[in-house]
Amino acid sequence: MAQQFRQEKKKAKTENKLLNNLANVYEKFMYGQVKSEDEQILENIRIAHEDWKNAEKYFQNVTDPDLIDHAIYRIEAARTRYTYLLKLAREMNVHGDIH
């Protein structure tokens, strides 16, 4: 009985996610917010670059020794994501203004 309830609850949750996703796609389509794959990659590159810059600013302002390690980790993670997205864009032959 309990297992059936959990399965029905999981099914309902999955259906709700699907309906929400469809509603989001519809709204984006209706209001002109749908972006091409190239535009999405370029936008992700812009965001990653901004994250990298913010991580460097954070590092410049941190004074606690424990937070310095955290700041370095953030810089490395942001840089790695940015370079990965650039590589992906190159492989997909995506061109555009990224800054």
Summarised one tens digit per residue, pLDDT across range 71-93 is 999 999 999 999 999 999 999 88
The angle formed by the CA atoms of residues 27, 97 and 21, to the nearest 5 degrees, is 20
Instruction: Pick left, alpha or beta for residue 96 (phi over 0 → left; psi -120 to 50 → alpha; otherwise beta).
Output: left
Looking at per-residue confidence, does 28 or 42 come out higher?
Answer: 42
| pLDDT (tens digit per residue) in 40-65 | 888 999 999 999 999 999 999 999 98
Q: State the pLDDT confidence band at 10, using cuts at 50, 70 and 90.
A: low
pTM, entire model = 0.62
pLDDT value, residue 40: 86
pLDDT value, residue 15: 66
Q: State the pLDDT confidence band at 30, using cuts at 50, 70 and 90.
A: low
- State the DSSP string of the chain: -HHHHHHHHHHHHHHHHHHHHHHHHHHHHHTT----HHHHHHHHHHHHHHHHHHHHHHHHH--SHHHHHHHHHHHHHHHHHHHHHHHHHHHTT--S---
Q: pLDDT averaged over the chain?
A: 81
How many residues are recorded in the chain?
A: 99
pLDDT value, residue 46: 93
